Chain A
């Protein structure tokens, strides 16, 4: 299986605090990879390296390397803005931009220079369909995105990311504030999307990881404890820590 994203002995610290301790992981193309672990395990920090959103934090020191398709993304020659077109992100709390549903989804394409109304409309419709939101909003694309429910807002955020036509989608606990029905809709969308995208799903919800991911990684205190196929991790974990976490003994 092709490797899409890889980190090589990646270490990261905020000031004196080491948050990632020598992480080496290979994420495979066109799969959903679940990152799980208790809070403070470094999983969210790891994805903020992949989308270079780490640039907005202060006092960060990084060693080692991270690559996409074999090319380093920590290299000084990499343009983070270009990178973020290839690596889309959905955050834990859905934050629609204060504008219409249409304009939220069209935000990324417009930044890329797409201004033709028909093309934009096509992208918006396509992205909303992929995020399983189209049917609920198709008659009111012009209304404010802030009027949507929490679950709809999160699918809007997914659609907004898809509109960038990225290769990779990072989801940082996307369902943490959602009800089970909305969660199911997001999960359905993700399962369909993996044929086209490489998806990393950060979640505290081990059941969710078990349900939809192909590979699972378990992080603990900045270390990658276990990484294997989801089936293997959830049925026969090789580390007792993983087993304890999955069984809910801590977390």
Chain B
């Protein structure tokens, strides 16, 4: 029996619709639960005051600061490093065993569970280099962790820049580096930003690797050598040790809102970049 293609068409469309709504639906449910449970405990004082009694009372100010410090510093370290690697791989090497080796290394790095990064950071930065549980150890560990994402997304973005644009640039007497700087990277900015956004998300949401390297001090980290905790770690400890579910959900609300804020900001920057270079 032959089914009318029109029905198949309708069926496929319906199926795809359901899949899309399912994805969005799950996101909405998660955010709704978090807001429902946490929003009553989230207010101005919660955001700007210090925690008391292990977090049973008070706010989460130090962990907000810790989160921003960790994410910002590791992005500032990983972006130039990752972008440099990506430029080297795409522009300055021919495909060879060497580049395959580097790429294989990068991909393996991306697949390692975060707890292993944490363990490595603990053994190497915290113990061997005597950094102790500190913002610095956390930042360095996180940098290594997000590097593969930045390299891979930047590499793909750079590769997607049409060859003709480079040829035009060369024909207008640009050198290789001038072409990369003035044409290739600007055209690749949206892709590079995607990688940075994903990395910020990873840094903000990470717990295991952070606890091992940055520790979980409740104090405000004032120097690179201070221990501290991020919102995700704070949430984990509050919930895991049954300290306060209310405060845990309150933290989660702030965490979700800040991720939302970062995304909006990133889109804003991206649109600016696209508007400027197109």
Contact = CB atoms under 8 A, between A and B. Distances in A.
A111 B172 contact: yes
Interface in A63-82: 81-82
A98 B164 contact: no
A40 B278 CA distance: 34
A98 B165 CA distance: 9
Contacts of A89: 171
A97 B168 contact: yes
Given A97-B183, A99-B277, A111-B178, A91 B172 contact: no
A168 interface: no
B142 interface: no
B128 to A, nearest CB: 47
A82 B165 CA distance: 20
Contacts of B278: 98-99, 144, 146
A4 B167 CA distance: 25
Nearest to B172: A108
A64 B41 CA distance: 82
Range for the number of chain A residues in contact with chain B: 20 to 34
Given A84-B172, A111-B172, A56 B167 contact: yes
Contacts of B165: 95, 97-98
Nearest to B277: A98
Given A98-B277, A98-B278, A111 B183 contact: no
A107 B162 CA distance: 18
Interface of A: 51, 53, 56, 81-82, 84-85, 88-89, 91, 93, 95, 97-99, 107-108, 111-112, 144, 146, 157, 160-161, 164
29 contacts: A53-B167, A53-B170, A56-B167, A56-B170, A81-B173, A84-B170, A84-B171, A84-B172, A85-B173, A88-B171, A88-B172, A89-B171, A91-B167, A91-B168, A91-B171, A95-B164, A97-B168, A97-B183, A98-B165, A98-B187, A99-B186, A99-B276, A99-B277, A107-B174, A111-B174, A112-B173, A157-B168, A164-B172, A164-B173
Given A95-B164, A97-B165, 12 more contacts: A53-B171, A84-B170, A88-B172, A89-B171, A95-B165, A98-B278, A99-B186, A99-B276, A107-B182, A108-B172, A111-B173, A111-B174
